[in-house]
Amino acid sequence: MIRSVASGLLWIVAVAAITVTLPVAWVALNVADEDGFVELTAPFATDDELGDALSAGVADAVVETTGLPVGQQLLRELVDRAFTRLVDDPQFPEAWRESQRASHRATFEDGEQERLVLDIGPIVDLVGDEIADDLPVALPSPETIVVPVTREVQPRAIEAVRAAPSQAALGGAVAVLASLGSVLLARRRSVALGFWGLGVVGAGGVLMLAANRAVPDLLATRAADSELAATMRDLLAARATAAFEEWLLVTVVVGGVAMLVGFGSRIVRR
């Protein structure tokens, strides 16, 4: 009796820990981690809507950095044509990846922005090299050109992302130990495994429903000051939701397999 009660309590702890830890672990791997963030946003380089907004944003940055009192329209046209050529150039995806690395560092490592930002410095450099021969003066080359993705500062959200790796490690340890304890203490371990799988499937299903609301609330409804910022914000919200759902689908499959193995083996024994 005591073993069954202890197993049941550990099952509750395990399912709760899994439910809480899964989104934190996803954030740790795909947002807090620089390489994960770069891979998450890499497909944006081929998005047409972002390309149009990025071209306009780069043109604004080039005009601002040059400070020329005349010929701004001609400069914007040069930038637009150069950007159109560079989108299909092998250098562009790499420049975009470098932009995302710089954006990640500016957002999560420097600690000054306190909100999500997009650093288009590497893109501006690439376009500047392309149009350098068409200009009578050399373009300045700022190290960073930061575009805020959200208008409001979000220091708590940024700090939560920074803390995600350590919290995911702690939550993962609790989930693993509680899961093992729940199965090992059970009088019928196959049944306990089946119920563990049921709990995992339930956790994945609940999180799938929550993801469709939580991510848009966190990003897509935040005010943006430019077309580039708004486009990047919307792409991030859509991409994060889709990627997290893929992550949860794997979780549901694992839980489903555990259910089949656990309950199935019990049925076979009968």
Choose the final residue of a domain: 148, 173, 194: 148
pLDDT of residue 200: 95
pLDDT of residue 57: 86
> What is the span of the domain harbouring residue 104?
40-148
Whether residue 120 is found in the same domain as residue 191: no
Q: What is the 3-state secondary structure (H, E, C) of 149-175?
A: CCCCCCHHHHHHHHHHHHHHHHHHHHH
Whether residue 122 is found in the same domain as residue 170: no
The secondary structure of residue 90, as a DSSP letter, is T
Choose the final residue of a domain: 148, 176, 200: 148
Residue 258 neighbours by CB under 8 Å, 6+ apart: 193, 194, 196, 197, 200
Whether residue 101 is found in the same domain as residue 205: no
> What's this model's pTM, rounded to 2 decimal places?
0.88
d(CA 13, CA 84): 54
d(CA 92, CA 118): 16
Strands (E), the chain: 117-119, 146-148
d(CA 240, CA 188): 40
Whether residue 159 is found in the same domain as residue 264: yes
CA nearest 218: which of 132, 135, 154, 174? 154
Whether residue 61 is found in the same domain as residue 44: yes
Written as tens digits, the pLDDT of the chain (270 aa) is 778 888 889 999 999 999 999 999 999 999 999 999 999 999 999 898 988 898 888 888 877 776 655 557 777 788 888 888 888 888 889 999 999 999 999 999 876 777 889 998 898 888 878 777 766 666 667 778 888 888 787 888 899 999 999 999 999 999 999 999 999 988 888 889 999 999 999 999 999 888 877 666 666 566 777 888 889 988 988 899 899 999 999 999 999 999 999 888 767 665
pLDDT of residue 137: 61
pLDDT of residue 270: 58
Whether residue 191 is found in the same domain as residue 256: yes
d(CA 242, CA 211): 9
Whether residue 66 is found in the same domain as residue 100: yes
pLDDT of residue 221: 64
CA distances from 118 to 5, 58, 94, 159, 160 (A): 52, 12, 15, 18, 19
d(CA 12, CA 68): 66
Whether residue 141 is found in the same domain as residue 175: no
pLDDT of residue 220: 59
How many domains is the chain built from? Answer: 2
d(CA 85, CA 88): 6
Whether residue 162 is found in the same domain as residue 138: no
Whether residue 46 is found in the same domain as residue 62: yes
Label the pairing between strands 117-119 and 146-148.
Answer: antiparallel
Report how many helices (DSSP H) and strands (DSSP E) the chain contains, helices first. 9, 2
Count the Cβ atoms, other than its own, within 10 Å of residue 4: 13
Angle at 245 between CA 208 and CA 37, to 5 degrees: 130
Whether residue 189 is found in the same domain as residue 105: no
Choose the final residue of a domain: 132, 148, 164: 148
